[in-house]
Each structure stands twice: as structure tokens, then as C-alpha cells.
Structure 1
Amino acid sequence: MRKLTYFVATTVDGFIGAPDGDADFMYAYADQEFVGHLIAEYPETIAAAGRAHLGLADAEPKRFDAVIMGRNTYEPGLKAGMTSPYGHFREQYVVSRSLVEAPAADVRLISGDVAAEVRGLKARDGLGIWLCGGADLAAQLADEIDEYIVKTYPVVAGTGMPMSRVGFGVRPLELTGCTAFGGGQVITSYDVKR
């Protein structure tokens, strides 16, 4: 069975973006060592435009071959003309109640019960499923997430968009990995204890 992994960037105080969702400020805290690790270990999570620039156009996926994102996560790329930001994935999903037609042939829309759709995806053969974001979608899928991989940047935001809007509820995790980088970034991975 495939796993749903919430692979997400966050500040030390747990925000994935500014109050409006913009996360560009975190890129200032991504040094060469950290980016090199992301390229080596998670090449498929780099959007198509970045893959071409980094020479990853033909890089094989290591962990994920499906991506699911909320409309707000998809929107910035769409506004920049990237209708298929992860076209190198076998499956690309956008959860939206407002889009009635997919902007690209290889993007599939989910407008109904997203948890049921994800359970169906998990039952299929393949690599893992990357939950790309955001906070509302992470809340809707809280009971379907099997693994968290959290890229923590060495910055405190004070307020902003949280990792999830699920509300209070204790969900035990088991630490499965921790890698610290010289620039202060840390990648921690956790399995969800069921």
C-alpha cells in the first residue's frame, strides 16, 4: 500500500507561509548544502521549471510518483503560467471546488470527498503520494497522512499559515530520521503511529 507523506517546509514556530500563504521568504534560508540534499534525495519535489534549470529534467523519482495539492498551493504556479507544475509525476491532483475544468490535460481535479480519493490512490500500485500543501488540505487529510517529512528553516515568523488547520487532537508520531545542516536547516521525518 502506498503512503501519503506530508513533505512540507516550515519555520521553527510551525508556519508554512505568511498569513496570505506566501512562503518565498523561507528561500533566503536555503543554503547550497541544504538545496543539494533536497536535489539528491527528493528530486521529484522540484517543480518542472526548477528541474530544467537544475539539470533534473530526466531524474527518476525516488519517493513519490503522485502529488496532491490544494487550490491555494496550485494557484501561484498557475498565475505564472505553470498549468502542470509537476508533469514529471505519474499522477498530479489539485483539490478544488472552484475549478470546473483542469488547466492541463495531466492535472486531475478532486472536488468531492478528498479523503476517499486518497484512500483509493493509496490502494494502487506505485511509489508514495506527496501531500504538497496546504494547511486546509492537510486538515482534511489528517487521518490519511502516514508520514511527515518536515523541512525546518532557521527562522521564526511569529504568525502565518500553520502546517495544518485540523484543530487540536493528539496524533502520536515516531521519529524515523533527523538530518541537520550547517546553515541551520533540519529535516525530520516521522511515521504516524496507528
Structure 2
Amino acid sequence: MRKLTYFIACSIDGFIGDPQGDATTMYPFVSEEFLGFLTSGYPETIAVQGRESLGLQDAKSQRFDTVIQGRSSYQLALDSGTTSPYGHLREVVASRTLKESPDPNVELISEDLVARVRELKAEDGELDIWLCGGSQLAGELLDEVDELVIKTYPLVYGSGMPMFGSGFAVTEFELRDVRTFENGVLVRTYSRKR
């Protein structure tokens, strides 16, 4: 069974973006050390423009072969003129507003998202599924998330878009690893407690 991993960046107080969803204030923390961590362990999580500028076009996926993202996260790529931001992966976009996929590599899901995620998890394969964002999507899929990889940036937002846009639901995870970086970033890895 493949895992669904929520690999996400957030502030110290658990927000993945400001109230409008903008997370660009976290970008200055992508230091050389941190970028080395991403490119060696998670190269597939770098979007197409970043892969090109870093010379990673042919980088082999280390962890994931499928990415799931919400409409708002996907819109950021569309606004920049990119219809397949993770064309090196199978892309799934959850959207109730997009009626037709703007790219043959992008599968749109408008109904029964949980069932589709369960199908993806049941597939044979060595690589897992990356839940890219956003908040509402993560909230809908909380019961399906097997692993959290949280890149925590040394910022406090005070308010904004929470990691999980859902109602109150206590869900327990076990800490597996913590990695610290000189720039103050922490990467914590958790597994769902069964």
C-alpha cells in the first residue's frame, strides 16, 4: 500500500500561507544547505521552472510519483502560464470549478476525492503520493494522510491559511525525525499513529 504524504511548508504557528494563501515570505529561507536537502531527498517536489534553473530536469524521483493539489495551489501555476507544474509526476488537481483540464498530464477530480485517493494508495508501486496543498484539501484528506513532512520556517504569521482547513478533529501522529538547518528551518517527519 502506497502512502499519502503531506509534504508542506509552514510558519512556526502552523500556517501554510497568509490569509490570501500567499507563502512567498517563506522563500528567503531556501538557503544552499536547505536546497541541497530538497534536491537530494525530494527533487520531485521542485516545480518545473525550479528544476530547469537548477539543472534537475532529469533528476529521478526519490519519494513520489504522484502529486495531489487543490485548485488554489494549482492556480498559482496557471497564473504563471504553467499548466503542468509537476509534469515529471502524475498530477491530480482537486477542483469543483475547473470543468476541463488545461493539460493532458493533469487529472481533475471534482467528486469523491477520498475514493480516488484510496485507489491511488492501493496501486502497486515503490513510490508514494505527495499531498502538495492546500489547506481545504488537506482537511478533506486528513484521515488518508499516512505521513507528515513539515518544513517549518522561523516565521510567525498570527493568522492565515492553516495546515488543515477542517473542523476540530484530534488525529495522532508519531515523531520519526527532526532535521535542523542553520537558517532556522526545521523539517519534522511524523507517521500516523495506528
Q: Smaller-chain TM-score range? A: over 0.9
2 CA distance for matches of 1:8 and 1:52? 22
CA RMSD of aligned residues (A): 0.7
Instruction: Verify the 8 A CA contact 1:30 1:153 in the aligned structure 2.
Output: no
Extract unaligned runs of 5+ from structure 1: none
Q: What secondary structure, in the 3-state scheme, does the structure 2 residue paired with 1:155 have?
A: coil
Q: What secondary structure, in the 3-state scheme, does the structure 1 residue paired with 2:120 have?
A: helix
- After TM superposition, where is structure 1 displaced by more than 2 Å over at least 4 residues in a row? none
Q: How does 1:79-158 map to 2 (within 5 A)?
A: 79-89=79-89, 91-126=90-125, 127-158=127-158
Instruction: Verify the 8 A CA contact 1:2 1:129 in the aligned structure 2.
Output: yes
1 CA distance for matches of 2:51 and 2:155? 26
Q: How does 1:1-194 map to 2 (within 5 A)?
A: 1-89=1-89, 91-126=90-125, 127-194=127-194
Extract unaligned runs of 5+ from structure 2: none
1 CA distance for matches of 2:21 and 2:170? 25
**Alignment coverage as a number of residue pairs:** 193
Normalization by structure 2: what TM-score? 0.98
Q: Which moved more, 1:177-186 or 1:163-172?
A: 163-172
Q: What secondary structure, in the 3-state scheme, does the structure 1 residue paired with 2:183 have?
A: coil
Q: What secondary structure, in the 3-state scheme, does the structure 1 residue paired with 2:144 have?
A: coil
2 CA distance for matches of 1:110 and 1:57? 27
Structure 2 residue identity aligned to 1:189: T
> C-alpha deviations, 1:129-158, integer Å up to 9, x for none?
000000000011010000000000011111
2 CA distance for matches of 1:192 and 1:184? 26
Kindly state the Cα deviation for residue 167 of structure 1 after the two structures are TM-superposed: 2.0
Kindly state the Cα deviation for residue 26 of structure 1 after the two structures are TM-superposed: 0.5
Instruction: Verify the 8 A CA contact 1:15 1:162 in the aligned structure 2.
Output: yes
Structure 1 residue identity aligned to 2:99: V
Counting aligned pairs with the same residue, the percent is 54
2 CA distance for matches of 1:118 and 1:169? 20
Normalization by structure 1: what TM-score? 0.98
Q: What secondary structure, in the 3-state scheme, does the structure 2 residue paired with 1:130 have?
A: strand
Kindly state the Cα deviation for residue 169 of structure 1 after the two structures are TM-superposed: 1.6
Structure 2 residue identity aligned to 1:149: V
2 CA distance for matches of 1:80 and 1:176? 36
1 CA distance for matches of 2:86 and 2:30? 21
Structure 1 residue identity aligned to 2:70: G
